[in-house]
Amino acid sequence: MFTAITRQISPRLNECELTHLDRQPIDLDLARAQHQQYEAALREAGCEVISLPAEAELPDAVFVEDVALVFDEVAIITRPGADSRKPEAESIARALSPYRTLCTIEAPGTLDGGDVLRVGKTVYIGLSSRSNRSAVEQTQKFLAPYGYTVKGVEVTGCLHLKSAVTQVNDDILLINPAWVDRSIFGTMKFIEVDEAEPSAANAVWIGDTVLYPSSFPETQRRLEEAGLHLKIVDATEVAKAEGAVTCCSLIFKKR
């Protein structure tokens, strides 16, 4: 039902871009073991996983979500906000080309896929240090023929919009309201992260399963109490690189 594109851990992950976190050592062996667990969880959730080889010279390349947006009708190759990440797009475009027609964000637009949240036919783009209004306008142009509305959203205190909010069910968003204004999302229901776990709003919703990191037990409890089916994965090492569970895959429906 779903395809998930992933990419293996770069041997230079310790040289990753950082914006809000202090640098700390990343255990590459543990990171690779956790990534294998993550890919296994995707398969268990119903995904055919296409695992691309590591990009040895690109530290952040495991975070494939940032370099493409995949919709049912079209895919958009982004232009990441960090210059070191722009070369990641070429191999992702090759991997996606058999599945979708490709559009490309052009300068002066910058866009990280981690700033993009699709809820039905509305696409929210975080206006962050990595994504700008030019990218919002270009994305609207690409998606308007298919009936989507694209909205720019202010985010504060975090790297990406999906650091602050992700969708976990048809009508439920998991949110840190300190980082994004919940009123933007209309009639959606909300589960708020525990105040002691500000980074706990990132989850991957696939069918009837939510992939969720093991590091946030109090927020995990809230999700379970809401009746959501969780698959818990360890993501401690990519978290040191300002990564999260959505960052490590591009998930889309087969057609």
Give the residue numbers marked as catalytic: 160, 247
Sheet with 204-206, edge to edge strand ranges: 204-206, 209-213, 230-233
Please tell me the distance from the alpha carbon of residue 147 to that of residue 150, in angstroms, as a whole number.
10
And the tokens for 109?
């637009």
Q: How far is CA 27 from the centre of its chain?
A: 22
**Core vs surface per residue 120-151: b (16+ CB within 10 A) or e:** eeebbbbbbbbbbebbbebbbebbeeeebebe
Q: Centre a 10 Å sphere on the Cβ of residue 44 and count the other Cβ atoms it contains.
A: 12
Kindly state the tokens that stand for 195.
């105040």
Structure letter (DSSP) for residue 199: T
Pairing of strands 2-7, 250-253: antiparallel
Taking the CA of residue 21 as centre, how many other CA atoms within 13 Å lie in the half-sphere pointing to its CB? 17
- Which residues on neighbouring strands pair with residue 70, listed in sequence order? 75
Cβ neighbours around 225 below 10 Å, total: 9
Cβ pair 54, 82 in contact under 8 A: no
